[in-house]
Structure 1
Amino acid sequence: MNVLITGGAGFIGSTLAGRLLREGYRVSIVDNFNSAYDPALKRQNIRRLGPAGSVMVYEGDVRQPQFMRHVLRHEAVDVVVHLAGLAGVRPSLQNPTAYFDHNLNGTTVLLDAMRDTGVSRVVVASSSSVYGNRVQGPFLETDPADEPVSPYALSKRAVELVCSQYSRLYGLNAYCLRLFTVYGPRQRPDMAISRFLHQLYRGQPVRLFGDGHSQRDYTYVDDIVDGMVRAIRRVSGYEVINLGSAAPVSLLELVWLLRDITGRHSPIEWQADQPGDVPLTYADIDKARRLLGYAPATNLREGLTHMVEQLGKPTVLSLS
């Protein structure tokens, strides 16, 4: 099976590519290596996948129709995994237009290119942020998702709706996977756990927003990738599916765990709540179990320990 991963040089994309290569899939990648964070980290992710030629890498943008049609035809793609786009709730508050352009317009251009080239299966990364400002869980895929609280969340919900329409109108097979706070080696340096490690190893205060009681359903990247591989094999029709750990943890508990694992005990510096942040994410994963055989296997302590071991102190200290 030939799999094209858009955004394949990033954290989740490169981890998925490695898993697929080990299992004998043919993998190609589209990535524009933008400056949302250091492009050198993304190029390093590509090098980790093996010698030049192990993976065909196309440097370009999913918003370019001719480029995407060329890649899809040239690679004889069977399934697309669509991870390209702009991530992050807080940055989206500063530049909503860019998020709608990259995430919504980029997805629409990709789906049109797939329709033009006869590629009918796609697995799309959505986000737990579509559930909005919820205080009780777990979150079910059938719950309302019509009040997102950030441009990022809105763009991801719009992507789901576009996929649903293309499935109805054009027979697209699309699984939209709502990912719940993915962490692990190669995590983006702007994400919370990476920032906390940076602060701990530098002896800087750990900056927490709010009162520390907000909860996240932290999910180890290998569990997410396992769910994605299962979706690649099974995608048929249109479905929205949660991929999480179903075990939310408070921000304070997370910091205590990181202090314990690293042996560093920097003080906490409290910051005001940030617009767009939500008090809780909590995945109901019954549908993922039923449709995909999904079963997350890594608890938070294990995942954080593995992340710290893989990163190593020098790498953590180099984060910007």
Structure 2
Amino acid sequence: MKFLVTGAAGFIGSFVAEKLCNLGHEVVGVDNLNSYYDPKLKNLRLMKLQNLEGFRFIKLDLADRDGISSLFARENFKRVIHLGAQAGVRYSIENPMAYVDSNLTGMMTILEGCRHHKVEHLVYASSSSVYGMNEKVPFAESDRVDHPVSLYAATKKSNELLAHSYSHLYGLPTTGLRFFTVYGPWGRPDMAPYLFLDAIANDRPINVFNGGKMKRDFTYIDDIVEGVVRVQDHIPYISFESGNVRREAPYSIYNIGNSNPVELESFIACLERALGKKAKKNYLPMQDGDVTQTFASTEALAAVTGYQPCTEVELGVKRLVEWYLDYNKLTGVQVRHPLAEGEYSQAEYAT
């Protein structure tokens, strides 16, 4: 089949595109290669993909309505995996319009392209951030998500609502995936795993909040990709009550995570063992607005696809560290997030 993968130069998008090509599919990758973090990392991910049979890359902004419309008209995609977005919870406070352009307008251009060109299934990235300050664990798809605490989370919740509207109005099959903390080789340099790793490797202190007792549902990239590729083969179909009328829409939402939260202190210890050096830690109290843990219930996704994450954190961290050391030898330059240099309280956990 022919797939469109947006965000193909991104962390998850590049791995998904690679997996689809290795399965024999044709993949058109789209990305705008913005400078939220060093484009060098994005270009190196693309270099890996360019060597794969069946992959083509097109530099294109999701907010370019005419460009996206022409792309759909020209390519005749069978399925779409929409992973492109402006990332970052905290950056959304500083640059909100970037999220409107990429995450809202970008979602609309993709929905319109899918609608008008009879795409068989749209799978798109949502986020665990939609759960906001929810204290009930594990987080389940049936939980209310009416109180996002960041603009990033609000755009992701908006994406889910837009997708539902298109599924209901036009019969477009859509599946949203709420990603939890994804880590691994080639990962985003604004995410906590990379920031902590880079700090420890370079003898810089890290801020550890709540005594390191925070828990996060760290999920290794290979497990995430397996879930994404499996779910695109399962076209959704649900029915629901609207007033006194039963209506139906091909729409679904799933958590995709490890379903096994790990204490931050334990994750840091894994990094220390893999690097062979100790972290310099500043222990600080709980931050306002933070949550003590994230914990994905993945039973719904497992029931439909058989999804079962299998990478232990110790192994995943070892692979991350091995890649990091090789990458720095290859490039001679460390990749850091421009907003977080020396400010590890700014580490991102929501993917």
- Bin of the TM-score, shorter chain as denominator length: over 0.9
- Mapped partners of 1:111, 1:4: distance in 2: 13
Task: Name 2:105's counterpart in structure 1.
Answer: 105
When residues 137 and 43 of structure 1 are mapped into structure 2, their CA distance, relative to the original with a 3 A threshold, is same
Q: Contact 1:89–1:277 (CA<8 Å) still a contact in 2? A: no
Structure 1 SS opposite 2:90: helix
RMSD: 1.8
Write out aligned runs for 1:163-312 (5 A).
163-236=163-236, 237-270=250-283, 273-274=286-287, 276-312=289-325
Structure 1 SS opposite 2:212: coil
Listed as ranges, the gaps of 5+ residues in structure 2 are: 237-249, 337-351
When residues 70 and 314 of structure 1 are mapped into structure 2, their CA distance, relative to the original with a 3 A threshold, is closer
- Mapped partners of 2:136, 2:215: distance in 1: 11
- Mapped partners of 2:209, 2:74: distance in 1: 47
Bigger mean CA offset, 304-313 vs 211-220: 304-313
Q: Deviations over 1:228-249 (max 9, x none)?
A: 0011111232000011111011
Task: Name 1:19's counterpart in structure 2.
Answer: 19
The answer to whether 1:318 aligns with 2:334 is: yes
When residues 76 and 175 of structure 1 are mapped into structure 2, their CA distance, relative to the original with a 3 A threshold, is same
Structure 2 SS opposite 1:49: helix
Structure 2 SS opposite 1:92: helix
Across the two proteins, how many residue pairs are aligned to each other? Answer: 320
- Mapped partners of 1:183, 1:276: distance in 2: 23
Q: Deviations over 1:162-198 (max 9, x none)?
A: 1011100011100000111010111111111101111
When residues 70 and 275 of structure 1 are mapped into structure 2, their CA distance, relative to the original with a 3 A threshold, is farther
Write out aligned runs for 1:18-97 (5 A).
18-51=18-51, 54-97=54-97
Q: Contact 1:7–1:84 (CA<8 Å) still a contact in 2? A: yes
AA aligned opposite 1:42: K
Structure 2 SS opposite 1:185: coil
Q: Deviations over 1:112-136 (max 9, x none)?
A: 1222222242100110111111233
Q: Contact 1:89–1:276 (CA<8 Å) still a contact in 2? A: no
Structure 1 SS opposite 2:290: coil
Q: Deviations over 1:32-61 (max 9, x none)?
A: 000111111111101112438752111011
Structure 2 SS opposite 1:199: helix
- Mapped partners of 1:176, 1:160: distance in 2: 7
Q: Deviations over 1:246-301 (max 9, x none)?
A: 10112212111211221110210245655653322101111011111111111111
Bigger mean CA offset, 114-123 vs 256-265: 114-123
When residues 59 and 300 of structure 1 are mapped into structure 2, their CA distance, relative to the original with a 3 A threshold, is same
Task: Name 2:114's counterpart in structure 1.
Answer: 114
Q: Contact 1:28–1:57 (CA<8 Å) still a contact in 2? A: yes
Listed as ranges, the gaps of 5+ residues in structure 1 are: none
Q: Contact 1:123–1:235 (CA<8 Å) still a contact in 2? A: no
- Mapped partners of 2:29, 2:192: distance in 1: 27
Task: Name 2:124's counterpart in structure 1.
Answer: 124
| TM-score normalised by length of structure 1 | 0.95
- Mapped partners of 1:91, 1:97: distance in 2: 11
Structure 2 SS opposite 1:56: strand
Structure 2 SS opposite 1:252: helix
- Mapped partners of 1:307, 1:314: distance in 2: 10
User: How far 1:211 sits from its partner (Å)?
Assistant: 3.7
- Mapped partners of 1:238, 1:80: distance in 2: 15
- Mapped partners of 1:203, 1:106: distance in 2: 40
AA aligned opposite 1:260: R
Percent identity between matched residues is: 39
- Mapped partners of 1:219, 1:197: distance in 2: 16
- Mapped partners of 2:289, 2:105: distance in 1: 22
User: How far 1:319 sits from its partner (Å)?
Assistant: 2.1
Q: Contact 2:31–2:60 (CA<8 Å) still a contact in 1? A: yes
Q: Contact 2:38–2:335 (CA<8 Å) still a contact in 1? A: no
